Amino acid sequence: MGVTIRVRIALATVALLGGLLACALERPLPSDEPIPPDASAAPQVVAAYHLVEDGRQQLAIGQTAAAIATFQKALALAPSSPHANFALGEAKLRQADYRAALIYGDRVARLVGNDPEWRRRVALLRGQAYEGAGDMARAREAYLDVLRLDPGSGEARDGLGRLGDAPPIP
């Protein structure tokens, strides 16, 4: 485990125990940032969240295999973490392992229930996975699900455009 990862785990644990995490979570969340765990989350859940952040950085610079290993460590700490499951789904999508991406997306859907932001993210992941797998009908439905949750989603509109569908302008 790298020094950066160990430091992040230690800091997350200290922040949780010191009550600082609740303050940090009060800020508004941009739509492209990972959704942080609840302030009452167990230390291993917070540590897993930070591992996911590290894995996302690895994924961003093209280190997909390293990112997957980091996401799997996060999942070992917190098996029911939607963050780790979703990140693994995104990484599997990058590897063109569409079946695995859908499996992780389905896990997230079961874990988060009706949370609209998570539902939007999962629907987009499904759309991209179905599109990659060549199942255009399911991809279309997933992209339309995204638009029902977020009518301004450029990613869903782009996906529908790739499928040859012109999404309605709200």
Per-residue pLDDT at 18 exceeds 80: no
Per-chain mean pLDDT for the chain: 83
Residue 165 has a pLDDT of 72
How many other CB atoms are there within 10 angstroms of residue 39's CB atom? 15
Q: Is pLDDT larger for residue 22 or for residue 135?
A: 135
Residue 86 has a pLDDT of 95
Per domain, the residue ranges of the chain are 1-81
Percent of the chain with pLDDT over 90: 66
Instruction: Give the pLDDT confidence of 68-104 residue by residue, as tens digits.
Output: 999 999 999 999 989 899 999 999 999 999 999 999 9
The span from the CA of 114 to the CA of 120, in Å, is 10
- 161 CB-near residues (< 8 Å, 6+ apart): 167
